[in-house]
Structure 1
Amino acid sequence: MYEKDDPRSALATATAPRPDSGAAIAAAQYLDLRTAGVVRAQNVILVHTEARAGDELDNGTLEGELAVIVTGASPAFTVRTGGEALRVAEPGLVVVPPGPSRISVEGDGPLVRLVEATEPAWRDRPANAAAYAEDHPRVALLERWPQPAGEPGVRFYPLSKVPQDPKRFGRIFRTRSFMVNFLPEQDGPRDPHKLSPHSHDDFEQLSLAVQGEYVHHIRTPWLNDSAVWREDEHVRIGSPSVTVIPPPTVHTSEASDPGVNQLIDIFSPPRTDFSEKPGWVLNADDYPMP
């Protein structure tokens, strides 16, 4: 599954036995965010906005936290809640507490917001809502993790405070409902002889392409009924896009653009296996495990 120098090779889930439920396996989804700005997985809605200077983005009054993914291409902005205003002008993750909030945008560029899939203000908007007319039986439903430590308020985790470390897998932050992993930029195509096919038992992976182009290789395991078998998929998709990878498909993503390629992986609820690795979750002191 993983090369020996891949930090994920030491995860407990990398070698654990995996009994199969026999439930139907969902199809992968490849979503171009230039045409579908609001999309979802089972537990999370992703809102991609090509913001413009002067925009006021209303997040609604949310029952759970809001997360804002800020990339190098994102504009500066100010998050405003009932009693707080926080200006953000560099890449990282913003976490906004429940309640009403809005974002005042200062420039042009992409912003990505994450909200829980059950939020009344957002649950009817996703372009792929029909794919979740019924819950997918293999995906665990969201149960929020414990309340964050300290006083409630807007939190910002800038990437500049945490340089890349080859002993970690990316730069990972979590909230009560989400986990976001900023993977390193890949200069040029990935070595096709060093891919990392693997699978997950009970959670979806959202691979958000923010730069470059990727080929997502996905293999659906065979169940007893051959009528539901699928051919292997090797789907090339550019950016911005999000690919929803269902369990327990075997998958790996291959950067293919000659320039810069970057993925940001999103999970809901947060991954326990990543959280159990000391030092991997960079805001673990703020967001305790169950």
Structure 2
Amino acid sequence: MSSTTARIDPTARVAQGARLGENVEIGPFCTVGPDVELGDGVRLLSHVVVEGHTTLGAGTAVYPFAVLGTPPQSLHYKGEPSRLVVGRNCIVREHVTMNIGTAGGHMETRVGDNGMFMAASHVAHDCVVGNNVIFANNATLAGHVTVGDNVFLGGLTAVHQFARVGEGAIIGGMCGARHDIIPFGAMVEGRPGLGGLNIIGLKRRGATRADIHALRAAYRELFYGRGTLVERTARTAELFAGQPYVTIVLDFIRSAGKRRLTVPHDVDDGGDREAA
């Protein structure tokens, strides 16, 4: 254990080998494992468990009964020394859980800076979560999920393993995201598929009226135009060349992962709400 300025409650258990930055606070009944690193100004309020090869970035605050860095909920995990890395200035509320990675993934679960993880939200093994995200109460990621910057997940929302949620997307409460959600896309509670674009989020990040009009037109071409998705993507790239937000969406589609692409809820795709 290293730090000359850490404040550790006498009821806390901090293992030898734990690395503590300056001005770390470890409250009552917390447990910190030997392979944990806490950055400057990290606060564990009380009854927090941080285990495994886990790093918490400077300024992150963790509330009671959160459990970070424990083994993944996966039958394939065999005890490999994988990691959990959480960025700077995150707020991790009560009963949040985040697991380390696996050999079947990339040996690391990674969470970016400035995230807000509300009570009982969960980040599973091998997930990659961007900056400035908000997970409402009980929002849940399965393993190997990728979440872009500035994403909002509503309460009781679940994202299927290997799915991708593009930057700036918003998923309403009690939604199940089975497949990839495009950047700036929106899912609405109680409706399968996309419900449109996250216009409020776009405005907050500085998108102009022209940017939003172009993105709306590109959305219509991508999902309501003629031909296959590959043909519509190529045509959209020609029609909207140089449009920055459209380019982000097209790059996301072209870098397809293991899941299919979620389409609007009113698109007739033979009963399946995802496009091939």
- Give the TM-score normalised by the residue count of structure 2: 0.22
- Larger RCO (alpha carbons 8 Å, 6+ apart): 1
Q: Which has the larger radius of gyration?
A: 2
Report the structure, 1 or 2, having the larger strand content: 1
Report the structure, 1 or 2, having the larger helix content: 2
- Give the TM-score normalised by the residue count of structure 1: 0.21
